[in-house]
Each structure stands twice: as structure tokens, then as C-alpha cells.
Amino acid sequence: MSTVVDVGHQTAFDDLGTPLSEVTFVVVDLETTGGSPTEAGITEIGAVKVRGGQIIGEFQTLVNPGIPVPAFIAVLTGITDAMLCDAPPLSVALPAFLDFAAGCVLVAHNAPYDISFLKGGCTRLARAWPDHAVVDTARLARSVLLRGEVRNCKLSTLAQHFRATTTPTHRALDDARATVDVLHGLIERIGTLGVHSLDELVTYTSRVTPAQRRKKHLANGLPDAPGVYIFRDHKNEALYVGKSQRIRSRVRTYFTASETRTRMAEMVGIATSIDAIVCSSPLEAEVREVRLITELNPRYNRRSKNSGRAVWVKLTVEPFPRLSVVREVRDDVAEGAAYLGPFGSQKTAQEAVEALHAAIPLRTCTDKLSVRRPAATACVLADMGRCSAPCIGAIDAQGYGEIADRMRDALTRDGRLIEQPLRDRLTALSQDLRYEEAAAWRDRLETFARGAARAQEIAALVTMPELIAARALPDRSWEIHVIRYGRLAGAAHAPVGTDPRLTVAAVVAAAEQIAANPRTVPAGLIEETTLILRWLASDGVRLVPGENEVAWSLPAYGASGLLARLTAARRELVVPIPAMDRNLRPAG
């Protein structure tokens, strides 16, 4: 037998910022046969629908689980096999409950248990589980109530503490009614702490400081649109810069338990205002975030503290060029310099240097060499035949220049100059069963390929006066970007039903004017150009013809192809062992 009384209904909502007074809760309790939730041995479902502190509906039904009720369960709940003979099966009872709870927030005491059985029932019925927000009154009580205030957080204890009008009896509807009173008692308690919306309730924890909760009003009025947000202090100085697809929703999480970073709690306590910049696309938001972090140097952004970590490998400009790890790209390419990278650390840059030195006998010393005064002795590498030894005059400036030209070509246009010598070394090491060394050299070759591919892609983009690209979104709208000399000059969104060509014309006309760039470094930040390249390589991006159209191309034998080959054939580089893990040893 089932009973349903429903005098109110709430449709589904998307915004968890809904005030608690406007939220419809369905407080549910189950009785089960025990065992695994996948068996869905539910024997009774009881639920109470409440809104604004008022009961607006109830649901109760016994359920025939199709399996016997264990004796100890029958003693505990009073539900016997005889009572369930004529009860509706799960295929009838569960859909009826889900219809009753549609669009509402589920509440249960020890919710993971009840929800797991409901989900298990949906699985058995091949029915999708609705996307309900869930509140667990047991977890909430452990966060709200003070130590020693109650002896435990069992439903019976909390019902007595909050003077519930119904005593829990291990029957579903009675327990659900008692849980309603516990829920209202907890909500009243945390309301004094500034918790007034659904997201604050769902994520409530005592770890959230009062300062965080008091600042939640800072999110009021922010747009729920993609873009960048800036937390500021009382002096209007930037504390933190972030980006999001939905600014207001993201900023709200800083005032709830969703934000677990300790430094963010400290930042929120200092903040007095939040600025928002709406962007036309996720790429524009990423670029604006990078620019603002660089410009404002907010003290709570880790990226602003690590902005100088990127390094490059440089072929120097001197009579006898060498490779050097540097922290900036200068305007000396026309003089003969070449750059590889950027790399994330000195260590990875040095791995690329080792790969280059293994293939081309450029000098490794850091001394300034004179054409007129060679040194008296050579280094050990020269004795081993791994250096051309210009230091002792073993090679003249012209001959060494040819070696330097090979190195420059390897960095900028022809990865074969590095690939083949390293492949030969890998083969030799494999034949000698020196698998760990082979794996290490394979890693160095891949590090070189990644750095060279990145440098060549950047060089190709930053020399283009204008590049217009568009990507179709799932809703059939378009995001459009104008890139000039490696910098994002304009961005726009063409909604469904509009002519994207008109949007292209408008964004091109309004795009930032950037002076001609004779350099091979971007007009903007390296990180910005890297973001643009990543977007250009994403699925669905297409180039749009423009008035300033210039062919965008990469070297025919550049590092991108080498990197693709290495990625595709990684296990083939060291043939004798099936896995390329340097920690593995050959059997036997």
C-alpha cells in the first residue's frame, strides 16, 4: 500500500545560489533488507516534501524487494515478508518516488546510504539517476554542533536535541518526519552564521571561516558570464585574478567549503571588492587573465610568483657560438642567434642541450674564445671526439661556422639533423642491452622535439601580420579570434541565427592595431602566444580568409613532425624490450 500527498512542486533549477526559503526539499528515508545497494533490497520508502519551513506533501510505500527479509531486520523495523507480499515491486515504487521528488533537493540522514540504494534501484531498472542536489543531515550536524553538545549524531539523538514532533521508529515515514525537524533545527542554527542559500548549505563546513561567509555579498551583481574576475583590497590593489565560464557562480565558491585552499580563505578575508570583465570566449578570458597577472602581480596568484621560471636554449652570437640556457629571448635572431623553447625548468632545457651536443659537435665550454689566441690544451670531450675543439685551433672559424649553421638549422627548420644521430645511438645501446641508457636518450630526444616544435610554431605565428580563425560551438554559434603578430587582437561571439561573416568583419575592424614586428618573439607574452597556439590546434578551428592574408606554415622537416613520430612510435625506439620504462629490466 502506498500513500502520496502532494500540495506543492518545484521545477528543476540550475542556480545553487537559490535562497533556502525558495528551495523545495524532499526528506527521504529508506528501510532495506541490508546487503549491497546494487541488490536494491528496499522494503519501504518514506518522504516528506517541505518548502519555506512548511510541509507540502508526503510519500510512503512498502516495496516488495523480491528477496526474504532477514530476521534481525524484521525485528528492528517490524516489516515482515507477509507485509510485503502485496506491496508494489521496485519497478513501480521507485519511479513513483522519483516523480514525487522531481526537481527537488534530496535530504537524508546518513545520505550516502539511502542515496546508494536509490541509485542501485535505478541501475537495476536501467533508469538514469536524476541530478539531485543532496544534503546529509548527519554530516551537517557534525559540522554545526559543538563538541559535547550532543553525545553522537544519530537520528534519535538529534531528534531529541531539536525537540522533533515525531520520534524515529525505524519506519521510513516516521524517520523522514523526524529528519525534517532536525533539518529545520540545523538550518536555523547555521542561519545565524550567514548561511542562507542552497550552495552554502550543501557545502557547509565549520572549516569555512566567518570572514569568508561575511564576504559573500561581494558576489552580488557579478555577471554569470564567461570572463575574468579580480579580488581587490581596501586600497584597490589586486589580490587575486581568476577566470571562469560563469563568473558569479565561480566567485560564490570562494565563500563556501568548495574552496579548500588555505591561502584563498586568507585572501577572501582581506578582499573588499571584486571586479569582473566579461569576455567573448574562453580563449579571451585565458589571455586576459595572463595579461592581468603579469600587469598587476597579485600576491595570491602563484603564477605571478613563478612568472620568470620559463627558460630557453640559445645558440649564442660570437665567433665560436655555443648553446646557453637563458631566461629571455632577445632581438638578435638577425645576427645569428637561434632559440629553443620555452622550457618549464632548467632541468628540461639541459636535457635538450645534451641531445643537441650528442648529435652536433658544438663546443660545450662557456669560455669566450678568441680567433687569434687558441688555448694550449683541449677539454676531455675533445679528446673523446665529441667536440670540434676550436679552443686549441683544431678547427678554424669558417669550419666551426659550418657546424654552428647545422645547429641553427636543427633548431629552426630541420629536426632530421638531431633525429638520425640519436636514433643511431639508441639502436647501438639497445644492441648492447643498455636499456636504461637508451630510455634516457630517448627522453632527451623527445625533450628537444617538444622545445623545437614549440619554438618553430611560435616563430611561424609571430611573423604573421594577421590571422583570423573561428570555431563552431556545440550550440552552432561561433567564436572568432583575430591574432596579429602572436597577440590576441580581437575576439567575438557570433550567436546562432546571425551571419558569422558580419561578426568577422566587425571584430577585424575593431581589433587592436599592432605595429609590424620584425622580431621572432611575440608582440605579447610568450604564455599568451602559447595559449593561442593551443586553441588553434583544437578540434573544429578553421582559418578565415582576410585582406592581410599571409600563408601560415611550418618547416617541412621541422620538429612537429619529429615529435609526432616519436609519440606514435615510442615503443619502437628501443626494440628489444616491450615497454619503454627505464625501471624495467630484460627478463633473465
Amino acid residing at 344: G
Are 430 and 478 in a shared domain? no
Pick from 425, 512, 506: which is nearest to 466 by CA?
512
Which cell is 131 given? 541530478
- How does DSSP assign 484-530, residue by residue? ETTEEEEEEEE-TTS-HHHHHHHHHHHSPP-----SSS-SS-HHHHH
The answer to whether residue 392 is domain-embedded is yes
SS3 letters across 84-146: HCCCCEHHHHHHHHHHHCCCCEEEECCHHHHHHHHHHHHHHCCCCCCCCCEEEHHHHHHHHCC
Q: How far apart are CA 407 and CA 340, in angstroms?
A: 11
Domain that holds residue 101: 2-200
Are 141 and 167 in a shared domain? yes
Whole-number pLDDT of residue 588: 35
Residue 380 CA, distance from chain mean position = 48
* CATH at residue 40: 3.30.420.10
Q: How far apart are CA 329 and CA 111, in angstroms?
A: 57
The answer to whether residue 40 is domain-embedded is yes
Q: How far apart are CA 318 and CA 400, in angstroms?
A: 11
Of 305, 330, 357, the residue that ends a domain is: 305
Are 151 and 175 in a shared domain? yes
**24-32 and 105-108 strand pairing:** parallel
The answer to whether residue 586 is domain-embedded is no
**CA dihedral sign of residues 337, 343, 349, 351:** negative
Angle at 32 (CA atoms; ends 27, 37), nearest 5 degrees: 90
Cα dihedral 339, 344, 345, 346 in deg (nearest 10): -10
Which cell is 547 given? 585582406
Reported residue count of the chain is 588
The answer to whether residue 573 is domain-embedded is no
* CATH at residue 269: 3.40.1440.10
How is residue 390 annotated by DSSP? G
Under 8 Å CB-to-CB from 151, ≥6 apart: which residues? 157
The answer to whether residue 568 is domain-embedded is no
Are 368 and 295 in a shared domain? no
The answer to whether residue 25 is domain-embedded is yes
Angle at 325 (CA atoms; ends 322, 329), nearest 5 degrees: 95
Pick from 424, 431, 429, 448: which is nearest to 439 by CA?
429
Answer yes or no: pTM beyond 0.75. Answer: no
Are 57 and 193 in a shared domain? yes
Q: How far apart are CA 48 and CA 70, in angstroms?
A: 27
Residues of the chain below pLDDT 50: 1, 5-16, 573-588
Of 153, 169, 200, the residue that ends a domain is: 200
pLDDT digits (tens, 9 = 90+) for 476-522: 999 999 999 889 999 999 999 899 999 999 999 999 998 876 556 66
* Terminal-residue alpha carbon distance, the chain: 70
Amino acid residing at 313: V
Whole-number pLDDT of residue 174: 95
Active-site residue, from 9, 161, 170, 184: 170
Of 426, 455, 484, the residue that ends a domain is: 455
For the beta carbon of residue 564, count every other beta carbon within 10 angstroms: 12
Pick from 426, 447, 443, 439: which is nearest to 583 by CA?
439
Whole-number pLDDT of residue 586: 36
The answer to whether residue 169 is domain-embedded is yes
The answer to whether residue 565 is domain-embedded is no
Q: How many domains does the chain have?
A: 4
Under 8 Å CB-to-CB from 285, ≥6 apart: which residues? 226, 227, 228, 243, 244, 279
Pick from 267, 266, 229: which is nearest to 251 by CA?
229
Amino acid residing at 204: Y
Are 425 and 517 in a shared domain? no
Residue 170 bears catalytic tag? yes
Are 405 and 510 in a shared domain? no
Are 290 and 318 in a shared domain? no
Are 439 and 324 in a shared domain? yes
Are 345 and 259 in a shared domain? no
Angstrom distances, CA of residue 486 to CA of 265, 328, 528, 559: 37, 17, 8, 19
Which cell is 578 given? 616491450
Are 214 and 282 in a shared domain? yes
**Cβ atoms of residues 112 and 135 within 8 Å:** no
Are 25 and 129 in a shared domain? yes
Whole-number pLDDT of residue 489: 93
